[in-house]
């Protein structure tokens, strides 16, 4: 199976309006910049986006929000995006906020074939509204379901043409979990090599989880909040 595509524009063929997408990254670290750019240019809309956060106003998922292409955001942190705030308060955007661990576990469960699980995180808060509650060993737990997504879009440091991926440092974040969870997984990498060139002991995501892969270009790798000494 040839998984290599030439660029992000070719990789997103098949993504249609109304679909649910997982997008890797934490803040602006390890986000699939090229694929997000292609989605913005494609004009696809009414998307449900599952991501730790919503980017910033002029970068990352923030660009999709700016173009009114996102119908619903499922995230754990959204504090860096004024347009997100405006759309939420005006009722233009549907939002589901989750504890960060719950977000990660709903991704992992989807990849592992676990339909649902119980967690104490969020009990007694709005997170638990409408969810089943059970008591285990005297403690309250709420039922959370694994995510269902049409596509998972991730960004890796290195990958081979078979689809094996290596993530670098903190850019690893949600990417490996999401790569396992999508019905179709698109991976953009900084460096694309031939099979056998990656150390098998260093591979974070095996090729079986990846459907499309391409070498990205012109990465900005912005820093959300730059803090320096006086």
For the domain spanning 8-114+147-215, the CATH number is: 3.40.1080.10
Which pLDDT belongs to residue 222? Answer: 85
Nearest alpha-carbon partner for 32 in 58, 66, 59 = 59
Q: Cα separation of 29 and 190, whole Å?
A: 13
Which pLDDT belongs to residue 60? Answer: 93
Q: Give 158-171 as a 3 state SS string.
A: EEECCCCEECCHHH
Q: Does the pLDDT of residue 1 top 90, yes or no?
A: no
Q: If residue 34 lies in a helix (H) or strand (E), which one and from where to where?
A: helix 33-42
pLDDT tens digits for 133-180?
Answer: 999 999 999 999 999 999 999 999 999 999 999 999 999 999 999 999
What CA–CA distances, in Å, run from 51 to 146, 150, 162, 180, 183?
14, 14, 26, 14, 16
- The domain spans of the chain are 8-114+147-215
């Amino acid at each position: 199976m040839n998984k290599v595509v030439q660029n992000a524009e070719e990789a997103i063929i098949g993504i249609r309006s109304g679909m649910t997408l997982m997008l890797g990254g934490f803040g602006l670290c390890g986000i699939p910049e090229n694929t997000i750019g292609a989605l913005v240019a494609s004009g696809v809309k009414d998307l449900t986006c599952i991501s730790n956060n919503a980017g910033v106003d002029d970068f990352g998922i923030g660009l999709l929000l700016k173009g009114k292409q996102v119908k619903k955001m499922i995230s754990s942190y959204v504090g860096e995006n004024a347009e997100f705030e405006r759309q939420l308060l005006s009722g233009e955007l549907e939002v589901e906020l989750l504890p960060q661990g719950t977000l990660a576990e709903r991704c992992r469960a989807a990849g592992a074939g676990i339909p649902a699980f119980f967690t104490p995180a969020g009990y007694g808060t709005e997170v638990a509204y409408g969810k089943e509650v059970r008591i285990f060993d005297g403690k309250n737990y709420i039922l959370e379901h694994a995510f269902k997504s049409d596509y998972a879009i991730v960004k890796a440091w290195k990958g081979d043409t078979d689809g094996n991926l290596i993530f670098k440092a903190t850019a690893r974040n949600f990417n490996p979990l999401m790569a396992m969870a999508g019905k179709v997984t698109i991976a953009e990498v900084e460096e694309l090599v031939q099979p056998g060139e990656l150390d098998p002991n260093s591979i974070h995501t095996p090729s079986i989880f990846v459907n499309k892969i391409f070498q990205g270009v012109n990465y900005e790798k912005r820093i959300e909040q730059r803090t320096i000494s006086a």
